[in-house]
Amino acid sequence: MRFWLVVAGFLVLVGLLAAGLQLDPREVPSPLIGKPAPAFELPLLQQPDKSFSEKDMLGTVWVMNVWASWCPPCLVEHPVVSEFARSGIAPVVGLNYKDAREDALPWLKRNGDPFQVTVFDAAGRIAIDYGVYGVPETYVIDRKGIIRYKRVGPLTPEIVQKKVRPLIEELSKRG
């Protein structure tokens, strides 16, 4: 009896530790979900004299992808982002994070430019407002400008299919 109690206790402990190992410590729950997307007004990457604000997207469900040319995982996820943008489910806005134009522009030329527009956040100040801490990051923002989803780290086809797509379809149906 006592022996089995000890074994049971041990198994519970192993179970808890195993569950703990499955958790991704990078998945910090964002307090921004359900909150309005922080306001910004940033120059475009391609046309520095033009600017873009998150308000320009009001009325549309859209996706914001934070990337940088110096970020290897961004390169990894780029085909997924491109595929998603091509599917036309929602427009994708790029936020080029702490980058230099002379690096970012050739990067887009080399790897393809899936973005409707790319805004240029050289100082990374706007990214702080969005709670960015590990590029790439991806946000889904609804018609009213509320952040509905945030992914830290590269998008994968599974995440797009299981989370992002259904969410956008649902948000689009809602008025």
Residues that bind another protein in the complex, under the rule CB under 8 A: 25, 28-32, 98, 123-125, 128-131, 133-134
User: Read out DSSP for 17-34?
Assistant: HHHHHHS-TT-PPPTTTT
CB of 29 to another protein, least distance (A): 6
- CA-to-CA distance for 109 and 102, rounded, in angstroms? 11
CB of 33 to another protein, least distance (A): 10
| Closer CB to another protein, 77 or 137, in the complex | 137
CB of 112 to another protein, least distance (A): 27
CB of 140 to another protein, least distance (A): 18
Closest by CA to 112, choosing from 136, 155, 79, is 79
Q: Are 94 and 67 in contact (CB under 8 A)?
A: yes
| Closer CB to another protein, 147 or 160, in the complex | 147
| Closer CB to another protein, 130 or 149, in the complex | 130
- Rounded to a whole number of angstroms, the distance between the first and last alpha carbons of the chain is 61
Tell me how far the alpha carbon of residue 110 is from its chain's centroid.
22
The dihedral sign for the CA sequence 56, 138, 45, 105:
negative
| Closer CB to another protein, 10 or 133, in the complex | 133
What 3-state class would DSSP assign to 124? coil
